[in-house]
Amino acid sequence: MATITGIDHVQLAMPIGSEGIARAFFTGILGLVEIEKPAHLAVRGGVWFQCGSTQLHLGGDPDFVAAKKAHPAFLVDSVDGVLQRLRDNGVEGTGEEPVAGRQRAVFFDPFGNRLELIAQP
Query: How high is the pLDDT of residue 9?
Result: 97
Nearest to 85 by CA among 26, 33, 23, 12: 26
The H helix count followed by the E strand count for the chain is: 3, 8
1, part of any domain? no
4, part of any domain? no
103, part of any domain? yes
pLDDT per residue, tens digit, the chain (121 aa), is 999 999 999 999 999 999 999 999 999 999 999 999 999 999 999 999 999 999 999 999 999 999 999 999 999 999 999 999 999 999 999 999 999 999 999 999 999 999 999 998 7
90, part of any domain? yes
22, part of any domain? yes
Q: Domain residues for 83? A: 9-119
2, part of any domain? no
Query: How high is the pLDDT of residue 98?
Result: 96
Nearest to 72 by CA among 16, 120, 4, 118: 118
Tell me the pTM: 0.94
Contact (Cβ atoms closer than 8 angstroms) between residue 121 and residue 76: no
Q: What's the number of domains the chain is made of?
A: 1
Q: CATH code at 92? A: 3.10.180.10
Q: In what order do the strands lie in the sheet with 114-119?
A: 73-76, 114-119, 102-108, 93-99
Query: How high is the pLDDT of residue 120?
Result: 87
3, part of any domain? no
